[in-house]
A and B are shown apart, each in its own frame.
Chain A
């Protein structure tokens, strides 16, 4: 049962459902807009179904899954449990960073992320501060001075502005 409900099969099922959903949605559009979706959607759904059947008939572990030829070679950790924990931890860092972006703004969130990530993973203060300065300098030099980017206002920035006005 666990082999049937593996992540691999669930992902293939997800792809199949995406194709089926696209076909249902596109069936309501005029032919001019839907022709490519209908033609390729049918092919895609058929292929995804075929892949699901192949995977269900021949369950594979992550290790014996053939790697595509032109992919960058994977370099795995020796301890799989450490690898899984580190993967979740890295995702947590990324999600945290993305959540911080609307709250404090992209430049502040990025510089804080660089400093905190480097420090938390064994970087000394000198290298952490140097990296942070590098990223802050890049943002200021390229985005502010050269590209004159308008930064969307952050939630915290808006709050501060409101307080100052009061």
Chain B
């Protein structure tokens, strides 16, 4: 294991992968600082380019883009009181009042430091999970893995707040979309509507672009103009912010643990991590009455948690091939495209790549915070870039990415058709992450189900692991019902 860790670091510390990492971090921060764009949209646009890279370059680039969005989000949360992404909503509660008081630099600096420490703690847990999970993963066969895919989609679907039925339906619809094209087991061509173009199925790149990127661009174009006016940065406060984080180091560790835990559980995204951490800080810290009025602890708690989540998120993604959310799902697509095999095998066959991912995660966090400190003033201006610059740029990149999926013009038409669906899903509150997760996990789910039936007939249903996971799935279904019933009783 130690050898693999060194090997992973050596692979990453070469000029070319490091260059891709820096570019990925810069793009991740830029995307994070744009209000309303969000990490998945940006990742969806950049994914096809990463798919053409060597594995180590793709790892460096994708981890750079995916892991620092929450750090970039802080600019909009603190300076314009608009969350840049779902992971920085709680930061507004105290970050914006601090900025209004003239302490914007202090709030931002504390958030960068907390983000960096949280990210490193998350990466440490990913590292520590390797020896713990190794024996467990080896005991898994196709029946357990089939149940895992079901659990992953159920969790992401059901935990879509306020829309559990829609979430589950979207997940199943995603699995259905994944079945389009020729079935390798039987040779049957499924749902091709007479079009040879569909024989190879629909590229996951097109699905992710149309579900995440284009609807966000439409929303951005619809808003018009700047999102809000920028609050002045002020002159001092950077060192004070760093000091604040170290003064509250216990809070950083506790909230990072909250983030890691949220990341491990499929379906709970950054937004849950930051609100959980904020609530935890309010419940456990002294003088909670100052929260919400510009207390630096209200910035440190969510920011350390949402970055620690990234490490936790990669645990099910890498070791079980079950992504916990939208960004992890897109990362999974990129990793598979460049030859990594996320799932139980990765721990035995590609451990050096796992460690390269862990190192890339650590380096990205450090680099992101340094870049934010150094370029704090120009970076703040990104939040108020006008839509007439961003919309054509993102549309152009989206279409180029779609074309790069298969180098076929038909992909552009498919993108437009699927974008209509992505837009309607966003408009009517249908969760989009379970849909994409369904498309990604569909082929695996079908393969594991078929292998289980072929190998054990119906006997696989009695495997202890299958029963345990089955109970977990039932619990996942039962929890929202129990929660709603309890809330109704309390209201009565």
Contact = CB atoms under 8 A, between A and B. Distances in A.
A70 to B, nearest CB: 3
A44 B83 contact: no
Contact of B395 (A41, A51, A75, A97): A97
Interface in A46-61: 47-48, 50-51, 54
B166 interface: yes
Interface in B78-92: 82-83, 85-86, 89
A102 B135 CA distance: 54
Interface in A105-143: 106, 110, 113-114, 117-118, 121-123, 127, 131, 134-135, 138-139, 142-143
B167 A106 contact: no
Nearest to B161: A69
Given A33-B190, A72-B36, A66 B165 contact: no
A131 B172 CA distance: 41
Q: How large is the interface on B (under 10, 10 to 19, 20 to 34, 35 or more residues)?
A: 35 or more
B264 to A, nearest CB: 15
B396 A135 contact: yes
Contact of B191 (A25, A54, A72, A118): A25
Interface string B219-232: 10111100100000
A71 B179 contact: no
Given A47-B172, A86-B224, A101 B408 contact: no
A40 B165 CA distance: 14
Instruction: For the complex of A and B, list the 7 residue pairs with the smallest distance between their C-beta atoms, beginning with the closest.
Output: A66-B162, A70-B269, A72-B38, A68-B431, A121-B388, A44-B172, A65-B429
Interface of A: 7-8, 11, 15, 18-19, 22, 25-26, 29-30, 32-33, 35-37, 40-41, 43-44, 47-48, 50-51, 54, 62, 65-77, 82-83, 86-87, 89-91, 93-95, 97-98, 101-102, 106, 110, 113-114, 117-118, 121-123, 127, 131, 134-135, 138-139, 142-143, 147, 149-150, 152
11 contacts: A15-B169, A29-B186, A33-B183, A33-B185, A33-B190, A43-B172, A47-B172, A71-B431, A72-B38, A118-B392, A138-B400
Interface of B: 35-38, 40-41, 49, 52, 82-83, 85-86, 89, 159-163, 165-169, 172-173, 175-176, 179, 183, 185-186, 188, 190-191, 214, 216-219, 221-224, 227, 268-272, 325-326, 386-389, 391-393, 395-396, 399-400, 403-404, 407-409, 412-413, 415-416, 419, 424, 426-433, 442, 445-446, 449-450, 453
